[in-house]
Structure 1
Amino acid sequence: MNAHLEQLSPTLVWRHFRTLCDTPRPSGHEAELVAKLQRWADQRGLKHDRDTFGNLRIVKPATPGHESAPGVILQGHLDMVAQANAGHDHDFTRDPIATYVEAGWLHARETTLGADNGLGVAAALAVLEDDELTHGPLEALFTLEEETSMGGALNVAEQWLEGDVLLNLDSEDRGEVYIGCAGGADVVVDAQLPTTALTEQEQVMRLALTGLNGGHSGMDIDKGLGNANRLLVRVLRKLESHGMRLGDYHGGTLRNAIPREAFASLFLPRDEVAAATALVAELEAILQRELGPLEAGMRLSLEPASEPESEQEALTADATGMLVAALHSAPCGVERMSSEVPGVVDTSNNLGVVNLDAGRFHLCALVRSLHDSAVFDLADRFSALFGLIGARVKVENAYPGWAPHADSALLARFCRVHESLLGAAPEVKVIHAGLECGILGSKYPALDMVSFGPLIRGAHSPQERVELDSVEEFWKVLRALIEDLARTS
C-alpha cells in the first residue's frame, strides 16, 4: 500500500515513511514496527539494542576520518495518535494508513496521518541509510508511547546513549528551530456517583456534538478551536433547567488531542422534551456564531434514543447537578500567556477524555506549562475542585519542561547552516508542547539539543497533513547540519 510515496522526493525519506504508514503503530502497539526496524538494521549491518522499556537504538559508525567528531543522536518517537472521523471504520492496530497527495500536501483518508512523528523517524532512518553522507558517530533513538504517556522517554536507560548533541526531529513548523518546550502531567479523576432508574415520566434522549476540527492539545490550544467536552457540558448546564438527568457521557479519546466529538444520554421529563429540543437548536446557532468559520462543521443535536429504555439508570438529580457544575468550572484551554516569551502559551489544560457509565465517572486532562511549578498548581486546582464531589484525583506521567539556552553552540551552528543553505535565518522558538527533549535532558544534562522538522498541520486529528516541499527542505537542512558537525574534531 502507499506505493505512490516512493515517487516523492527525497526518495530515502519517503520510502521509510511508507513503511511507517503500512505498519500499524498506535501508542502501545509499536512491536511490529520495532521488529521491522531491527531486521532492516541487521540487513545493513548496523548495531542495534533496546533498553528495558523497549526503546530502540540503532548505531552507525562515523565516516572514516571523522571518528573524533561530536556524536549525533537523532531522536523521534515511533507511535502515532489514532484518530478517525466518525463513521469511518478503521482499526489502528491492524489497518495501514491510506495516504494521498493534494495541492502539494500529503493527507490521510479519514484518519490521522502519522507524520507526527513518522517523518522524523523516516528522516533518521534515511540518514542511517545514506552512504553518501559524511558524518561523525551516529545514534538513532526511537522511543515508545510518546503520545499517551511519554513513557519511552521517561524510562530511557541512563548511561546508554553516547552522543554529544541531540537532534529532536519532532517539531512541525518550516523555517523554525525550537530550543525549549513545556512540561506537563496527566490529571486523572475517578468517582462513583449515585444513580436511579428511569421513571415512566422520563424519556431517554441522545445529545451529540460533532464536526469539530480537533487538534494538538499543546500547539493548537490557542487557535480558538472548539473543545467538544467544554461545549457539550455548557449545553448540559442549560438543560438542567428542564429537569435533565445525565445517563452516560463519552467525549474525546486522547488526553493530548482537543476532542472533536462528545455524546451524552439524557433522561428528560416527557413534558420537557419539546422545550429542551428547541433549546438545543438555539444553542447550536449560538455556538456556531461564537466559533465562526473556524468550526463551520460543528453540529449539535438532541434526538430520542433508539435503544430500549427498560432498566436504564441515570445519575440522580443532585449528582447530575454536582458533576455538571464541576465540569463546567474545570480549567480548560489557555490559562495564561508567557511573560518571558512573547506570543507563547505559558500554561494550559485540555479536557481530553470524559466518560460516564453506570455512575462511574472518569476524566483525563493534560496540563502543560513552561514552569513545572505551574503544572502542579493547576493539577492541584483539579484536586480541590473534584474533591468537592468526592472524586479521587491522581497526577500521573509528569514530565519536565526543556529550559531554553539561547547561547547553545548547537543552536548557533544550526542557524548558520540554515541561513547558508536557505538564505534566511530560522526563527528560534519555544513550543507549548511536550517534546521529549526535557525528559532526555534531565537524564543526560550534558547534551546540547535542538528540535526541528517539516511543516505539519492538524496533528492529532484526521485533518493532519504535511507540506511536501517542507520535507525536502527539512531533509536538506538535516543532512547539511550532520555534515557540518562532522567537520568538527
Structure 2
Amino acid sequence: MYNRLEDLIQHPVFHYFSEISKIPRCSGNEKAISDYLVQFGKERNLEVKQDEALNVIIKKPASPGYENVPPVIIQGHMDMVCEKNKGTIHDFRKDPIQLRVIEEMLYATNTTLGADNGIAVAYALALLDSKEVPHPSLEVVITTEEETTMGGALALNPADFEGKILINLDSEEDHKLLVSSAGGIKATMILPIIWDDAPKNVSAYCIGVRGLKGGHSGISINKGRGNSNKIMGRILEDLSGEFPYFLQQINGGSATNAIPRETDAIILVSRDSIKKLESKIDEWNDILRNELKTSDPEVHICLDSVKHDLSKVFSEETKQKAITSLMLIPNGIQSMSMEMEGLVESSTNLGVITTFETELHFESDSRSSIKSLKDALVKKARLIAETLGCKLFTDSEYPEWPYNPDSKIRKVFEKVFKEKHGTDIEIIAVHAGIECGILIDKIPGLDAISIGPDMYNVHTPNEHLSIPSTINNWEYFLSVLKEMKFFDR
C-alpha cells in the first residue's frame, strides 16, 4: 500500500509524524517540539497554553451537532527515548530521525524511531488540523519527560481541563483496549569511589557486552532478554576468582526504562594474566550463547586492548562493592499477577551504570500494579545500599492506574469495535507506566482508556511501527469520536 516514504507521508498522520521526526525531542530536550506545537495551534486559531514544564494544551471547539457532548481529553507525550547503535553517527540534539519504509513497517535508521509516543502527537495534530472529522470539544494535552520522570504530567494543573473523559494514545497494541497500568519509581544507588595508584607493568582492556536486543523495561521484561549490566557483574565476579585484576570504570545502559543492551568495563591486568583473561571471555561467550540462545542469540562479549589512563584504579574495597552491587541489585520479574494471566505484577530493571569522578551510580526502574509491592522493592534496594555503605535516592514516582469496572468510555470503544469487526475487543492491562494514573489522581471522576497501533522493540534502535495498524487504529479512533454524539453522560 505504501512502499515508499514519499507516498506514506501523504497520509495526514504520517505527514505529521514525519514533521515531528525532524525536531529534537529526547526527554529533557523538548523546547523545540513544544514550541512547534504552540505555533501549530496558533496558526489554526485554536486556544493554546504552554506551561512551565513545556506541556502544551490545545483546545478545539465541538463540531456542529456535538455541542452538548461532554468534552474529551486527548493525551500523549512529546518526548522519546533516544537510543542508537554503537558507532552510529547521530546527534539527537539536532539531527532529524531518518525514516525508512520496509515492507509494511516504518523504521528509523540505526536509532529509535520515536513512535513511542510520537504517533500520539501525529494523531492529535491530524485531528486538530482536520475540518471534516466530527468530534466533541477537544482538550489535547501533549506532555513532556514521560520517558524519564513523568514530570510533565505531574506538573499539569487540573484547573486547565473541563473534560472528565480521557483517551490516552500511548498504548502499543492494536485491537486491544488498555484499561490499567503499573506505577513506578526510579532508585539510584550511589557508591563512593576510593581511588588507588595503579600498579606498574599492567595493560588496559575493555570488556564489552554486545548484541543484546534490549527493549522497554516494562513491556519487554517478561521476554527473558539479557541485561548487559547484570551480565557484566557476573563476568567481573567470575574473573575475581581466577586472577588479580584492577577495575577502572563501568558504564552501561542509557535509560532506566530500557533494558540495557551494552555495557563496558575497563580493567587493568598484568601481562601474564592476559591469556587467562582471553580464555575466560571465550568461556563466557559459550555460557551466554547457551543461556540466551532463544531470547538473545546475537549476544557476545568482546575484549579489546585499549589505550587508557594507567595512573588510577578503584581500590580493592570499591571494586568488590561494585561487583557485589551488580550481583545483588534486584533485576527482572519480581512477581506475577494472580488476577490476570500472563501479566507481570512487579519488576525492576537495573538500567544504567555510570562511573563519575568520585562515585558510581546504579540506576534502577521499579514498577508494580500494587503500591505496597513497589514500596517493598524500594525497601530492599535501601537495605542493599546500607549494607554496602552506599546512599539511595528515589525520584520520578508515579501512581498505578487501577481498573475501572464501570467505565463508560470503555463501553463506547467496545461497541464501535464490535460493529467494525464483528468480534469483541481484547481488554488488557500493561506492566508499564502510563500517564493515565497521574491524570486520574489530578482530576476526580476521570474516566480513562488507552489505545494505540502495533509497535515493536520500542526503546531500541530496532523500534518499528506497523503502517496498516497505525491507519486502522486511526480510523477506529475517529469512529469512536463520531459515536460519542450518543454518549450517555
TM-score per shorter chain, which class? over 0.9
Distance 1:414 1:38 in 2: 30
Deviation at 1:148, TM superposition (A): 1.0
Distance 1:144 1:133 in 2: 27
* Corresponding position of 1:104: 104
Distance 2:36 2:315 in 1: 52
Counting only pairs closer than 5 Å after superposition, residues 306-317 of structure 1 correspond to structure 2 as: 306-309=307-310, 311=311, 313-317=312-316
Deviation at 1:406, TM superposition (A): 2.6
Does 2:448 match 1:446? no
Count of residues paired in the alignment: 486
Deviation at 1:9, TM superposition (A): 7.4
* Corresponding position of 1:69: 69
Distance 1:398 1:39 in 2: 32
Distance 1:321 1:43 in 2: 60
Check whether the contact 1:399–1:438 (CA below 8 A) recurs between aligned residues.
Answer: yes
Does 2:78 match 1:84? no
CA deviations over 1:79-125 (Å, ceiling 9, x no partner): 01100000001111100000111121000100000000001111111
Residue aligned with 1:380, SS: helix
CA deviations over 1:154-188 (Å, ceiling 9, x no partner): 11112111112100000001111111000000001
Letter in 1 for 2:173: D
Distance 2:46 2:410 in 1: 29
Check whether the contact 2:61–2:138 (CA below 8 A) recurs between aligned residues.
Answer: yes
* Corresponding position of 2:429: 430
Deviation at 1:308, TM superposition (A): 4.8
* Corresponding position of 1:471: 470
> Could you list the runs of 5+ residues in structure 1 that have no partner in the other structure?
none
Pair 358,38 (structure 1): closer, same or farther in 2 beyond 3 Å: closer
Residue aligned with 2:118, SS: helix
* Corresponding position of 1:258: 259
Check whether the contact 2:223–2:295 (CA below 8 A) recurs between aligned residues.
Answer: no
Distance 1:10 1:368 in 2: 39
Check whether the contact 1:66–1:487 (CA below 8 A) recurs between aligned residues.
Answer: no
CA deviations over 1:332-369 (Å, ceiling 9, x no partner): 01111111221100000010001224452111110000
Residue aligned with 1:92, SS: coil
Check whether the contact 2:288–2:300 (CA below 8 A) recurs between aligned residues.
Answer: no
Distance 1:411 1:293 in 2: 37
CA deviations over 1:248-296 (Å, ceiling 9, x no partner): 0100010011111000111223322211210111111110111004312
Does 2:213 match 1:209? no
Distance 2:406 2:201 in 1: 70
> Identity of counterpart residues, as a percentage?
34
Check whether the contact 2:50–2:56 (CA below 8 A) recurs between aligned residues.
Answer: yes
Letter in 2 for 1:202: V
Deviation at 1:22, TM superposition (A): 1.0
Distance 1:408 1:378 in 2: 31
Residue aligned with 2:364, SS: strand
Letter in 1 for 2:355: L
Check whether the contact 1:206–1:304 (CA below 8 A) recurs between aligned residues.
Answer: yes
Letter in 2 for 1:392: K
Counting only pairs closer than 5 Å after superposition, residues 134-283 of structure 1 correspond to structure 2 as: 134-241=134-241, 242-283=243-284
Residue aligned with 2:385, SS: helix
Residue aligned with 1:139, SS: strand
* Corresponding position of 2:126: 126
Runs of 4+ off more than 6 Å: none
Check whether the contact 2:182–2:432 (CA below 8 A) recurs between aligned residues.
Answer: yes
Distance 1:290 1:389 in 2: 29
Pair 160,30 (structure 1): closer, same or farther in 2 beyond 3 Å: same
Distance 2:342 2:139 in 1: 35
Residue aligned with 2:106, SS: strand
Letter in 1 for 2:266: S
Distance 1:156 1:240 in 2: 50
CA deviations over 1:284-341 (Å, ceiling 9, x no partner): 11101110043122120223222353x2x11122321222112201100111111122
Give the TM-score taking structure 2 as reference length. 0.96
Distance 1:284 1:127 in 2: 51
Distance 1:205 1:333 in 2: 29
Letter in 2 for 1:306: K
Distance 2:134 2:317 in 1: 69
Residue aligned with 2:18, SS: helix
Letter in 1 for 2:343: V
Moved more, 95-104 or 5-14: 5-14
* Corresponding position of 1:413: 412
Residue aligned with 1:53, SS: coil
Deviation at 1:34, TM superposition (A): 1.6
Residue aligned with 1:229, SS: helix
Check whether the contact 1:248–1:266 (CA below 8 A) recurs between aligned residues.
Answer: yes
Moved more, 216-225 or 185-194: 185-194
Letter in 1 for 2:162: E
Letter in 2 for 1:51: D
Residue aligned with 1:128, SS: helix
Distance 1:4 1:96 in 2: 18
* Corresponding position of 1:295: 296
Check whether the contact 2:178–2:430 (CA below 8 A) recurs between aligned residues.
Answer: yes
Letter in 1 for 2:264: F
Deviation at 1:423, TM superposition (A): 2.7
Check whether the contact 2:164–2:443 (CA below 8 A) recurs between aligned residues.
Answer: no
* Corresponding position of 1:485: 484
Deviation at 1:6, TM superposition (A): 5.6
Letter in 1 for 2:388: I
Distance 2:293 2:358 in 1: 35
Pair 205,9 (structure 1): closer, same or farther in 2 beyond 3 Å: closer
Letter in 2 for 1:255: T
* Corresponding position of 1:348: 347
Deviation at 1:428, TM superposition (A): 0.3
CA deviations over 1:350-399 (Å, ceiling 9, x no partner): 10001224452111110000011111110111111021121110111111
Distance 1:122 1:5 in 2: 16
Pair 307,193 (structure 1): closer, same or farther in 2 beyond 3 Å: closer
Check whether the contact 1:248–1:358 (CA below 8 A) recurs between aligned residues.
Answer: no
Check whether the contact 2:195–2:315 (CA below 8 A) recurs between aligned residues.
Answer: yes
Distance 1:203 1:12 in 2: 57
* Corresponding position of 1:404: 403
Residue aligned with 1:65, SS: coil
Letter in 2 for 1:183: G
Deviation at 1:5, TM superposition (A): 4.3
Deviation at 1:4, TM superposition (A): 5.5
Distance 2:69 2:5 in 1: 34
